[in-house]
Amino acid sequence: MDSTLPKLRNIVTDASLNPAQKTHYLALEAENLLSYPPLDSETSRALDDGIICDMCEGHAPFKPRYVLPDYSVVLKKGSDYLELPAPVTLAEAINTLMIAYHQVPSVTGMPVYIGLLDELLLPFCDEVSDADLHQQIKLFWRYLDRTLPDAFMHANIGPSDNRVARTILRVDAELQQTAPNLTLLYDPATSSEQLLAIAANNIISCCKPHIANHPIHAQTFDDIGYGIVSCYNALPLAGGSSTLTRINLKEVAERSTDEADFFERTLPYYLELQFKLMQSRINFLHSESNFFRSFLVAEGWIEQDRFTAMYGVYAMAEAVNALQDLEGRDGRYGFDATANALGHRISAVLAETVANRPVEKCWRGRAMLHSQAGLTSDHDATPGVRIPYGTEPDPVSHIRALAPHHQYYESGISEILTLDETVRNNPEALVQLCKGAFANGFREFTANVASNDLVRVTGYMIRRSDVDGYKQGQGSRTNTTALGSEAVDNNGILERKPRVISHEFNPSYD
């Protein structure tokens, strides 16, 4: 408690945080005064040593990490708890969603999923003119950015080509906001070429949307569906993920004597400890926190048994290079066929382990493998299975080197392709890259165009101009700017060869 008080005082008096941001950090500190969910000594040691990690989710998980409500429930039936009738007009439908979002918790305290918006809103658009639709979406978008200022908040559109999807893309390019983040679910069979072309133009203008390979995701999940949320996590709709823990593969490789030792001893050992960490956190959420007594369950927005658990991995690049060194091989990850094949083998082993290890209180009784995109506090550990920043090969070689991993990471994997500005004159090149990536098994396609004001930090967006303002002590109304600013300082990312930023986010106050 003695060391906590000065920290609480720093939070309360921090000139760069607004009152809501201070309240959020204070709540985190309070949660962390409680004792951790029970862990055996080996798991606890691995957690303390940073070999496995709980993403600073807090000591007492009283809400799932990610919640993906089925918003069609409240749009069709209204809500007794919220005293809302079923909406009839588009304005009523948008108003209902705006209210609903404030009931959806997540690890950030803000909703990470705001729905498959075109499918949700299309039934209300029959009598709405194009101009009216544009105006209503524009106000909706402004509201989202100003009241839920967190770039992890994620909207989905597609896979069909429709006027709501097109209007959202148009508004998103016009407003150039960091929030909401946006994913287009793309299916070559049902999305039009034109929709993909519009998306490519948007990427050139504001680095959004991210494009998801819908047929692969649809096959992974079930008829109820899935959503892409936060930093490109694919999760069950009407459910979500109880927790995300991750394993630092570099740390595991460094505790191995050679490649065989890694596969036979260290990797299986630490993988099992991560399952134990995950299970203990899930147990607290499901059996002690009382979260699932929420009206969200009672009214059918979410179902308790549709919450999976995300089994994260990162620092694949450093792990492979460390094993290459142990074996006396020069080839580096991302560039050398042997090194790349070793990485693919590790991913296959991870996927097999996750598929065979039961997890209780978890969707389908198994966790889902996830290529985790980093925390701002990470040093010398490349996110997920990505190639270290600043050293990436050309975009085609980049995609080909990483594509074989994608089949294994069912709850999400993303690579950020940074394209130099010449692509502005040639959006068709972007479309072709995306098609090539999907044909090679990519689950997600994300591109950054150099020198756009909106910059991707792992998966979320920040504005370069906001970072400059934040660092001059002006504060920022978006929570993610502080995180992005940390990534900028830790990594010099904005100066890098075009510019990619690692690292998810760090929800604790330092």
Which residues of this protein are in contact with other proteins, per CB under 8 A? 394-397, 399, 419-426, 428-433, 435-437, 439-440
Reference 141, options 109, 110, 172; nearest CA is 172
Cα(340)–Cα(348) distance, rounded to whole angstroms?
12
Cα(367)–Cα(374) distance, rounded to whole angstroms?
19
Provide the b/e sequence for 483-508 (b: ≥16 CB within 10 Å): bbbbbbeebebbeeebbbbbbbbbbe
Work out the number of other CB atoms within 10 angstroms of the CB of residue 481: 24
User: CB of 419: closest distance to other proteins in angstroms?
Assistant: 8
In the complex with other proteins, the residue whose CB is nearer, 353 or 452, is 452
In the complex with other proteins, the residue whose CB is nearer, 167 or 191, is 191
Which pair of structure tokens corresponds to residue 133? 């639709």
Taking only Cα atoms into account, the Rg of the chain, rounded to an integer number of angstroms, comes to 22
In the complex with other proteins, the residue whose CB is nearer, 56 or 173, is 173
In the complex with other proteins, the residue whose CB is nearer, 10 or 432, is 432
Element (H, E) at 256: none
User: CB of 414: closest distance to other proteins in angstroms?
Assistant: 18
In the complex with other proteins, the residue whose CB is nearer, 204 or 231, is 204
In the complex with other proteins, the residue whose CB is nearer, 127 or 495, is 495
User: CB of 397: closest distance to other proteins in angstroms?
Assistant: 7
User: CB of 201: closest distance to other proteins in angstroms?
Assistant: 14
User: CB of 337: closest distance to other proteins in angstroms?
Assistant: 13
User: CB of 398: closest distance to other proteins in angstroms?
Assistant: 9
- CA distances to 25, 58, 443, 470 from 19, rounded to whole Å, are 10, 21, 39, 16
In the complex with other proteins, the residue whose CB is nearer, 285 or 430, is 430
User: CB of 323: closest distance to other proteins in angstroms?
Assistant: 23
Cα(13)–Cα(23) distance, rounded to whole angstroms?
12
Dihedral over Cα of 112, 117, 123, 129: its sign: positive
